[in-house]
Amino acid sequence: MGMTYAESFLKSHIVNPERMMILEKSPQKAKELEQKGIGTVYGRPEQCVPQADLVILAVKPQDTTQLFADLKPLVQPTQVYLSIMAGVQLETISKALGTNKVIRAMPNLPAKIGRGMTVFTALDEVTRIELAMVQNLVNTTGKTLYVNDESMIDATTAISGSGPAYVWYFMHALVKAGIDMGFSQSESELLVSQTFLGAVQLYNAGRLNLEEWIGRVCSKGGTTEAALYEMDKNQVLEKLMAGARAALRRAEELGMKS
């Protein structure tokens, strides 16, 4: 996701390669990054962090202990810190780094193609100008939504953060069903992917809510009604909602551990 942000910022011309600094502790990965020509790659935080205006924390939550220990002596009072780490709370980051200029965001994987959804929040000490700067940067990866309540970031993790996997899970089921019905793998994948793409675009282009769109397809006594009856009988809706709640609980657990 850090690479996605770097590439999106550069494509939008908000940042140029001369102003992009990338910190990568793995020598092998650092060499690969250097070949991409998207910025200057550093192996040690003291080489780059003190010069940064915005520091994006794009590591796994379990790596925070070492990360915070390395960064804290280098934090500058005017710097803004943007975290995209799942579950790691603003207060945790603020105390660990000794700064109140912290923004927390939850992006998702479609940001790779500029179709991402990012929800973000911040501590009160972050100014409106700083928030606007970060939002302009993140908007290069898709849509953004600001929330006042930090608990909604964990909820975002459960919905849009993990959400693409739910969609692909459902698509996978339909692809398998198509193959069972006699289509080839490629034929079934085409049927499913175009159906999902068309359904989402039709929903976005129209003014109907989801239940109304379902009603447009579901005629009484028809095939769609038969399918939805079977899904309702097996509590598919409730189980999908339970899955999202499980993701929320896990996000909250990660926050408590951090």
**Comparison of pLDDT for 86 and 74, the residue scoring more:** 74
Q: How confident is the model at residue 239 (pLDDT cuts 50, 70, 90)?
A: very high
Cα angle for residues 32, 109, 231 (degrees, 5° grid): 145
**For 206-235, where are the alpha helices, taking DSSP H only?**
210-217, 223-233
The domain ranges of the chain are: 2-148, 163-257
β-pairing verdict for 80-83 and 116-122: unpaired
DSSP assignment of 124-154: TTS-HHHHHHHHHHHGGGEEEEE-S-THHHH
pLDDT of the residue at 137: 93
CA distances from 166 to 158, 169, 198, 240 (A): 10, 5, 18, 8
Q: What CATH number does domain 163-257 carry, 1.10.3730.10, 3.40.50.300, 3.60.21.10, 1.20.1530.20? A: 1.10.3730.10
What mean pLDDT, rounded, does the chain reach?
93
Model pTM? 0.86
**Comparison of pLDDT for 54 and 36, the residue scoring more:** 54
CB atoms within 10 A of CB 91: 13
| Section 176-198 average pLDDT | 98
Is pLDDT of 120 > 90?
Answer: yes
Q: How confident is the model at residue 258 (pLDDT cuts 50, 70, 90)?
A: low
Q: How confident is the model at residue 212 (pLDDT cuts 50, 70, 90)?
A: very high
Helix (H, G, I), strand (E, B) or coil at 121: strand
pLDDT of the residue at 74: 97
| Section 68-93 average pLDDT | 93
| Section 153-179 average pLDDT | 96
pLDDT of the residue at 150: 93
Is pLDDT of 255 > 80?
Answer: no
CATH fourth-level superfamily of 2-148: NAD(P)-binding Rossmann-like Domain (3.40.50.720)
Taking only the tens place, the pLDDT of each residue in 153-165 is: 989 999 999 999 9
> Where is mean pLDDT largest: 7-16, 60-69, 185-194, 249-258?
185-194
pLDDT of the residue at 13: 87
| Section 84-106 average pLDDT | 93
Residues 243/250, Cβ–Cβ less than 8 Å? no
